[in-house]
Chains A and B, each alone.
Chain A
Amino acid sequence: MKLSISEPFRAAMGWLHTWLGVALAAILFAVFWTGTLTVFDKEIDQWMKPELRIAAAPNAPVDAAVLPRIAALDLAPASTVWVSPPRERIPAIRLLYDDAAGNSHEEMIHPATGEVLDLTDSHAGSEFFFRFHFMLHMPGNIGIYLVGLAAMGMMVLIVSGIVIHRKLIQDFFTFRPERQARRALLDFHNLTSLVALPFHFIIPFSGLLILASTYFPWSMAVPFGGDAAGLRAEQMGWGVRRIEPAGVAAPLVPSLDRPIRQATAIWAQREGGDVSTPDWAAIFNAKDARSYVVVERYFADKRVAIGPDHIAFDPRSAAVIGQFAPKPVQSATNWIEGLHWIQFDHWPLRWLYFIAGLAGCAMIASGLLYWIEARIRKNRRAQRHVVAVRAISIGSVTGIILATCVFFTMNRLLPHDLMLAGAHRHDLEIWAFFTSWLFSFIHAAARGEAAWAEQCRMIAALAVGAALLNWVTTQDFPAQMIATGVWSVAIMDAVLIGAGVMAWMTARRLMTRQQQRAHGAGTQEQPAE
């Protein structure tokens, strides 16, 4: 490829890539790391809430398990009850409702027994890691704006990175671990960036697209005269289904399975072939004579594209009383947003996302390490800003991994119903995460270069410890989990142990290198050091 890039331009892009990279690396690593974990959020949920370790039975009927429970609830006549049927990755039935006093409740119901599961109070994957991924656990929209800026920065970094790479094609497969650390790190940074380049670009892009209405609320409402409600009605079909209650009490709808089957048949006719499972079957005006059922699908499991899709039924006559399907003009954005949401059932693709996410983490970490090595080579290791960047790098790379391992370990150590000084159990887990993360920064500042290896050893101990604690506290050994069809838990144990072994090996290599360096510094062997 012949590109004529002038040297001043390349130098300017190099400066941009270096300093924007250093400035954004911490936040980008946190977003990539939690995003990678969120690829398996439901599986992490099953690990952290052992009550959910039920064999998956997608599309199992829900009536027998959930209708008696809804009938027993103390509901306002006009209230709405939401039921999510079991899916491949969520084995239990989810039930959402507001009681007569107006308090919201969420319950998980065993699909076979109808028992309301007494879940371990944890925010686990689908709440903690998922929210952190785009909100950074910050109040209001601050985190969302920071992540948005970082995503824009990520795209700038990719473009500037391509410009400054002199031998993009020739070096595509190049990794020379035998060369000096600086060169090997740059090779690894280039390799992890280039092989997954389309992924590294489409992920921040699609993330920004998902949050576009938060970033530019007014721009999208302009065609609706600035009315955001009008926009949502057009996009989501909100407002088309509301039927006012009659004010006359009536018994609960006879079935949810029947409307679910009907909706599935209608979608099958429209789309042909494999039809995605509905997300929700909602009962509106639940205890009123004018109750009706809406079957909704937003996150399809048999295709990449997301998008609202719902059909309203009269539960007694089974007649269709309303329908909404997304407009064809949305199909491109629905596919791009869907590829970021990853709600489809495709295990090989899900693993590829996980691996590509880890490649992104490796790309950011090796970029930071290269920056540090380049300064060490110029004999600037003792300069204050180099010391500071190294401490921040250690805290944001090994530190967040360490905090994640502490989060898992605490989850297995805290008693099921713990309340401590008014704090919920899930808050204690999150505090443990942030306390250990903070500790990793302090440790890095205090220990300097040695902190890399030391934190790797802590990660090794905690990751293996978390898997062992899972076996001790739940007796759910991998063989038993596989026999009952709950692969997620067995695989998460294996990943934890594998990660622990890798962290241990990394720590050993780092320590050998440090010893060599300390040794070499005393002789005239490495004047550059």
Chain B
Amino acid sequence: MTTVIDLASLALALAFALAGSSVLMLSQSRNWRKVTGRVDSAPSRARLGWLLVGLAFVPTAWHDGIGFALLLWPLMFAAAAFCVAIVLAFRPRVFRRLALIFIPATN
């Protein structure tokens, strides 16, 4: 049971970090154009990105305590941001679905 909670809290934090990094990446025009193939500038979603990245702190702080969360959080963000950058470099289309969510907002 404790293992399930361990994994769930970790997975939740990682999911927030990955989602937040992806949104931050898409809020930059050059990346937005690379992912969507459009020529307009990126919809401003940086705040949502930072919010999601920030939310990754919550499960770790709740489950591991502040002492561990202060280490886990920046390192998970580092790993997530690195993954996002690598996927963007080699498989940018992976982010299309996420980008499509934002398109109506720009029209």
Measured CB to CB, the residues of A under 8 A from B are 169-170, 172-177, 191-192, 195-196, 198-199, 303-305, 335, 339, 344, 346, 348-349, 352-353, 355-356, 359
Interface size class of B (residues with CB under 8 A): 20 to 34
Q: Are A199 and B78 in contact (CB under 8 A)?
A: yes
Say how far A168's CB is from chain B's closest CB, in angstroms: 12
Select which of A169, A349, A353 is within 8 A of B68 by beta carbon: A349
Contact pick for A175, options B65, B70, B75, B88, CB 8 Å: B88
Contact across chains for B76 and A173 when beta carbons are under 8 A apart:
no
For B9, the closest partner residue in chain A by CB is A348
Tell which of B67, B72, B74, B85 touches A303, judged by Cβ atoms closer than 8 Å.
B67
- Docked-complex contact B82 and A195, CB < 8 angstroms: yes
B77 partner residues in chain A, CB cutoff 8 A:
195
- Which residues of B in the span 71-107 have a Cβ within 8 Å of any Cβ on A? 71-72, 74-79, 81-82, 84-86, 88-90
Q: In the complex, what residues of A have CB within 8 A of residue B81's CB? A: 172-173, 195
Is B53 interfacial (CB-CB < 8 Å)? no
Asked whether B89 lies within 8 Å of A175 as measured between CB atoms, the reply is: yes
CB distance from A267 to the nearest CB of B (A): 16
Does the CB pair A175–B78 fall under 8 Å?
A: no
Residues of A within 8 A of B55 (CB): none
Knowing A170-B28, A177-B90, A304-B68, the reply to whether A356 touches B75 (Cβ < 8 A) is: yes
Nearest chain B CB to A12 CB, angstrom units: 29
Cα distance A409–B78 in the bound complex, in angstroms: 33
Determine the chain B residues whose CB is within 8 A of the CB of A199 once the complex forms: 74-75, 78
- Top 10 nearest A-B pairs by Cβ distance? A352-B75, A196-B78, A195-B78, A304-B67, A175-B89, A195-B81, A173-B85, A173-B25, A198-B74, A195-B82
| Cβ–Cβ contact A175 & B86, under 8 A | yes
Measured CB to CB, the nearest residue on chain B to A304 is B67
Give Cα A174–Cα B65 distance, bound, in whole angstroms: 33
19 contacts between A and B (CB under 8 A): A172-B81, A173-B24, A174-B30, A175-B85, A175-B89, A176-B89, A195-B77, A198-B74, A199-B74, A344-B68, A346-B64, A349-B71, A352-B72, A352-B75, A352-B76, A352-B79, A353-B75, A355-B75, A356-B79
- Chain A residues with Cβ below 8 Å from B28 are 169-170, 172-173
Please judge, given known A-B contacts A173-B81, A173-B85, A175-B85, whether A349 and B72 are in contact too, CB under 8 Å: yes
Give chain A residues whose Cβ lies under 8 Å from the Cβ of B21: 173
Q: Which residues of B contact A175 (CB under 8 A)?
A: 85-86, 88-89
Mark B28-57 against chain A: 1 for CB-CB distance below 8 A, else 0. 101100000000000000000000000000
A234–B106 CA distance with the chains assembled, in angstroms: 63
- Other A-B contacts than A169-B28, A304-B71, A349-B75, 15 sampled, CB-CB below 8 A, are A172-B25, A172-B28, A173-B21, A175-B86, A175-B88, A177-B89, A196-B78, A199-B78, A304-B68, A348-B72, A353-B75, A356-B75, A356-B78, A356-B79, A359-B82
Taking the closest CB of chain B, its distance from the CB of A326, in whole angstroms, is 15
Q: How far is the CA of A97 from the CA of B64 in the complex (A)?
A: 37
Q: Are B90 and A173 in contact (CB under 8 A)?
A: no
Q: Are B78 and A359 in contact (CB under 8 A)?
A: yes
Q: How far is the CA of A169 from the CA of B85 in the complex (A)?
A: 13
Q: Which residue of B lies closest to A190 (CB)?
A: B85
Residues of B within 8 A of A335 (CB): 67
Most buried by B among A170, A196, A339: A196
Is B15 part of the contact surface with A, judged by Cβ < 8 Å? Answer: no
**B10 adjacent to chain A (CB < 8 Å):** yes
Nearest CB on A from B12, distance (A): 12
Whether B82 and A191, one on each chain, are in contact in the complex, defined by CB atoms closer than 8 angstroms, is yes
Shortest distance from the beta carbon of B19 to any chain A beta carbon, whole Å: 14
Give the distance in Å from the alpha carbon of A199 to the alpha carbon of B85 in the complex.
18
> Nearest Cβ in chain B — how far from A189, in angstroms?
13
> Distance in Å from the Cβ of B70 to the closest Cβ of chain A?
8
Minimum CB–CB distance for B65 against chain A, Å = 7
Q: How far is the CA of A355 from the CA of B75 in the complex (A)?
A: 9
- Is A346 in contact with B68, judged by CB distance below 8 angstroms? yes
Q: Which residues of B sit under 8 angstroms from A176, Cβ to Cβ? A: 89
**A196 pairs with B71, CB closer than 8 A:** no
Q: Which residues of B contact A359 (CB under 8 A)?
A: 78, 82
CA distance in complex: A170, B30 (Å): 8
Indicate the member of A170, A195, A304 with the most B CB atoms within 10 Å: A195
Q: A196 vs B88: C-alpha distance in the bound complex, in angstroms?
A: 18
Tell me, rounded to whole Å, the shortest Cβ–Cβ distance linking A350 to chain B.
11
Q: Choose among A173, A196, A349, A356 the residue that contacts B31 (Cβ–Cβ < 8 A).
A: A173
Minimum C-beta distance from A365 to chain B (A): 16
Q: For the complex, what is the distance from the CA of A305 to the CA of B71, rounded to whole Å?
A: 12
* Distance between A330 CB and nearest chain B CB, rounded to angstroms: 14
Q: Which residues of A contact B24 (CB under 8 A)?
A: 172-173
Q: In the complex, what distance in Å separates the CA atom of A310 from the CA atom of B88?
A: 52
- Docked complex Cα distance between A172 and B28 (Å): 10
Q: Say yes or no: B75 contacts A196, CB within 8 Å.
A: yes
Q: What residues of B have a CB within 8 angstroms of the CB of A192 in the complex? A: 82
